[in-house]
C-alpha cells in the first residue's frame, strides 16, 4: 500500500512539474496599454478607415491586377516610301508589327484625407508596374502623386484640360487624356460650378519637329522656357457634367547649321488648344448609363488632341496600326529660311455606355480626327492632310464585384493627302494613301 501511494505521489509531482514548465513558456498576461483597433471611416465613402492612432486622418488602400491580350492589326499599309516634292530626300517607313502583344500591369495606390478648417487635405499616389513584349518591357511608372489643399493641386495628376479620359473605353478613340506634373488652383462657386487655372509641364505635351530637308544643320527641341498654361470652367450636377478648357503651349526650335554651339539660332512659337465636352447621365435607360460628347481644336499643340509620342490613346498602346505609324505627329514644321509653321487639327468623339444587365455593359464609340500641316509644309516636305474615322465597341462582364472580363474591337479608316511624287511611289509599291485597320483587345482585371 505504501508502495502504491509512493508511485501515485511521484506521478502527480511529475505532472505538476511539466505543467509548470509549460506555463513558463507561455506569455504572461500582464496589464498593458489598450489595443488601438482599426475603425471604419465613412466620411469619404467606402473603403476608408482611420489611420491607427489618429482620430481625424483616413486612408484607403487600393489597386488592380490587369492582363491584356492585343490581337493582330490587318491593313493594306505595308512598307512605303514617302518622297518629298521635287528632288528632296525621301523617307522610308514601315508598318511591320508583331501579330500579337501580351501585356500585364499591377497598380497600387493610397488615398489619405484629413478634414481641416480650410477643407480636406488630401494626398494621393498610384504606382504601376508593367511587363509586355512590345514597348513596355519590364518597367515602373508613377501614374499619380499629388497633394490637394484648399483648392491647390500640386504634383502629378490628370491634366485640367482633360474631360472624357477613359470614360467608357479601354483607349480606342483619340482624346487629350494625359497625366502630367503641375501646380493648379481650383475655385468652387457652389451648385457644382468650378474654375481651374494651372501651370503644367511643357515636356509632357512636347512633340518633335517636322523639318524641311533644305534646312541646313540639325534641328533640336530647345528645352522649355514656359510651362503650359491650362484653364477650365466646369459644372458637375445630377444630370451629368460639362467643361470648357484651353491651353497655351510653347515650342522652341534650335538650329545649329555648322555644328558649333555658338552658331546656333533659336526660334519659338506658342500654340494653343481649346476643348468642350459634356457628359449626360441616362438612368432612364439603365443605372450607370451615360453619354459623352467631346470636341477639340489645336494649333501648334496637337498632343492636346491625343497625338504624339507621349500619348497612350491608341488601342493596344504600343501595338499601333498603320494609321498611327503614318500620321505626321508634330506641332511645328521648321521650313527653309527659318520659318515655323504650326500644324492644326481637330478631333470630335461620342461614347455611349449602356448596361444590358447589372453585370454586363457595352460601350459604343465613334471618333473623327484630322491633322493639317498647311500648304507651305506640304509643298516643302510632301506631308499632307491626314484624316481618320474610328468606330469601336467594348463588351464587359462583371461576374463578381471588383472583377471584369472585357473585349474591345476597333476599326479605323484613314485618308491621306499626298503629292504627285508620293503618289507615284505608292503606286510603284502597290500601296494606297487610303486604307483601313482593325485591332482587338481582351482584358481581364481584378480591382481591390
Residue identified by cell 473605353 is 169
pLDDT band (50, 70, 90) for residue 17:
very low
Report the alpha-carbon distance of residue 123 to residue 340 in Å, rounded.
42
Q: Which of 106-120, 191-205, 278-292, 402-416 has the lowest mean pLDDT?
A: 402-416
Instruction: Compute the CA torsion angle 91, 310, 379, 390 (nearest 10 deg).
Output: 100
First to last CA, the chain: 72
What value does the mean pLDDT take over residues 7-35? 45
Q: What integer is the mean pLDDT of 396-415?
A: 93
The mean pLDDT of 405-424, rounded to a whole number, is 82
Ranges of beta strands (E only) in 87-227 are: 90-93, 101-116, 119-132, 138-149, 152-158, 179-190, 193-200, 210-211, 218-221
Q: Average model confidence (pLDDT) for the chain?
A: 81
Residue 275 has pLDDT above 80, yes or no: yes
Q: Enumerate domains of the chain plus CATH numbers.
A: 38-447 (2.40.160.10)
In this model, does residue 38 exceed pLDDT 80? no
pLDDT of 262: 56
Q: What is the DSSP letter of 170?
A: S
Torsion sign (Cα): 226, 163, 175, 384: negative
Sequence-distant (≥ 6) Cβ neighbours of residue 358 within 8 angstroms: 287
Q: What is the pLDDT of residues 349-398, one digit of tens each?
A: 999 999 999 999 999 999 999 999 888 888 877 778 889 999 999 999 99
User: Rounded to whole angstroms, what are the CA distances from 245 to 117, 201, 294, 298, 345?
Assistant: 30, 17, 11, 12, 16
Tell me what the mean pLDDT of segment 112-130 comes to: 95
- State the pLDDT confidence band at 83, using cuts at 50, 70 and 90: very low
Which pLDDT band holds residue 167 (cuts at 50, 70, 90)?
Answer: confident
Q: pLDDT tens digits for 246-265?
A: 999 999 888 776 656 555 67
Distance of alpha carbon 176 from alpha carbon 296, whole angstroms: 9
Which sign, positive or negative, has the C-alpha torsion 52, 55, 57, 63? positive
* Strand intervals (E) in 282-402: 290-299, 332-334, 340-342, 344-357, 360-372, 386-397
**Residues 430/390, Cβ–Cβ less than 8 Å:** no
CA distances from 402 to 62, 63, 442 (A): 11, 10, 17
pLDDT at position 113 over 70: yes
pLDDT band at 94 (very low <50, low <70, confident <90, very high): very low
Contacting residues for 9 by C-beta, under 8 A, at least 6 apart: none
Nearest to 202 by CA among 185, 232, 226, 175: 226
What grid cell was written down for 164? 472624357
DSSP H or E run through 401: none
Please enumerate in sequence order all residues whose Cβ is within 8 A of that of 194, keeping only pairs 6 or more positions apart, or say none.
Answer: 186, 187, 188, 233, 234, 235, 236
Tell whether the model's pLDDT for residue 59 goes beyond 80: yes
pLDDT at 279: 98
- DSSP letter (8 states) at residue 239: T
Of 264, 383, 380, the residue nearest 330 (C-alpha) = 383
Amino acid at each position: 500500500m505504501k508502495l502504491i501511494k509512493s508511485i501515485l505521489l511521484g506521478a502527480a509531482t511529475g505532472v505538476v512539474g511539466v505543467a509548470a514548465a509549460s506555463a513558463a513558456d507561455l506569455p504572461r498576461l500582464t496589464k498593458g496599454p489598450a489595443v488601438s483597433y482599426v475603425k471604419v471611416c465613412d466620411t469619404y465613402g467606402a473603403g476608408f478607415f482611420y489611420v491607427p492612432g489618429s482620430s481625424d486622418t483616413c486612408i484607403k488602400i487600393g489597386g488592380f491586377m490587369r492582363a491584356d491580350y492585343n490581337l493582330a492589326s490587318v491593313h493594306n499599309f505595308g512598307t512605303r516610301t514617302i518622297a518629298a516634292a521635287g528632288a528632296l530626300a525621301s523617307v522610308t517607313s514601315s508598318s511591320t508589327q508583331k501579330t500579337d502583344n501580351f501585356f500585364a500591369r499591377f497598380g497600387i495606390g493610397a488615398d489619405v484625407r484629413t478634414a481641416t478648417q480650410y477643407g480636406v487635405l488630401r494626398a494621393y499616389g498610384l504606382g504601376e508596374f508593367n511587363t509586355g513584349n512590345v514597348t513596355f518591357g519590364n518597367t515602373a511608372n508613377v501614374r499619380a502623386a499629388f497633394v490637394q489643399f484648399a483648392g491647390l493641386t500640386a504634383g502629378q495628376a490628370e491634366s485640367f484640360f482633360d474631360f472624357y479620359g477613359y470614360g467608357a473605353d479601354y483607349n480606342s478613340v483619340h482624346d487629350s487624356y494625359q497625366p502630367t506634373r503641375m501646380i493648379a488652383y481650383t475655385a468652387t462657386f457652389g451648385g457644382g460650378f468650378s474654375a481651374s487655372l494651372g501651370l503644367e509641364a511643357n515636356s509632357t505635351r512636347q512633340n518633335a519637329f517636322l523639318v524641311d530637308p533644305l534646312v541646313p544643320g540639325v534641328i533640336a527641341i530647345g528645352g522649355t522656357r514656359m510651362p503650359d498654361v491650362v484653364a477650365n470652367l466646369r459644372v458637375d450636377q445630377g444630370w451629368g457634367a460639362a467643361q470648357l478648357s484651353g491651353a497655351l503651349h510653347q515650342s522652341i526650335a534650335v538650329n545649329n547649321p555648322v555644328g558649333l554651339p555658338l552658331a546656333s539660332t533659336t526660334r519659338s512659337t506658342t500654340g494653343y488648344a481649346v476643348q468642350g465636352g459634356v457628359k449626360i447621365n441616362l438612368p432612364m435607360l439603365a443605372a450607370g448609363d451615360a453619354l459623352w460628347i467631346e470636341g477639340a481644336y489645336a494649333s501648334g499643340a496637337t498632343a492636346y488632341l491625343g497625338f504624339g509620342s507621349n500619348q497612350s490613346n491608341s488601342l493596344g498602346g504600343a501595338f499601333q496600326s498603320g494609321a498611327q505609324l503614318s500620321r505626321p505627329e508634330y506641332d511645328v514644321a521648321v521650313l527653309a529660311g527659318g520659318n515655323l509653321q504650326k500644324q492644326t487639327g481637330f478631333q470630335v468623339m461620342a461614347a455611349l455606355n449602356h448596361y444590358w444587365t447589372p453585370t454586363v455593359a457595352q460601350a459604343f464609340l465613334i471618333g473623327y480626327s484630322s491633322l493639317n500641316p498647311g500648304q507651305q509644309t506640304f509643298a516643302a516636305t510632301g506631308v499632307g492632310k491626314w484624316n481618320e474615322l474610328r468606330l469601336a465597341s467594348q463588351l464587359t462582364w462583371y461576374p463578381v464585384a471588383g472583377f471584369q472580363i472585357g473585349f474591345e474591337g476597333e476599326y479605323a479608316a484613314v485618308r491621306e493627302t499626298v503629292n504627285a511624287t508620293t503618289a507615284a511611289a505608292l503606286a510603284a509599291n502597290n500601296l494606297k494613301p487610303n486604307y483601313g485597320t482593325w485591332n482587338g483587345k481582351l482584358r481581364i482585371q481584378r480591382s481591390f
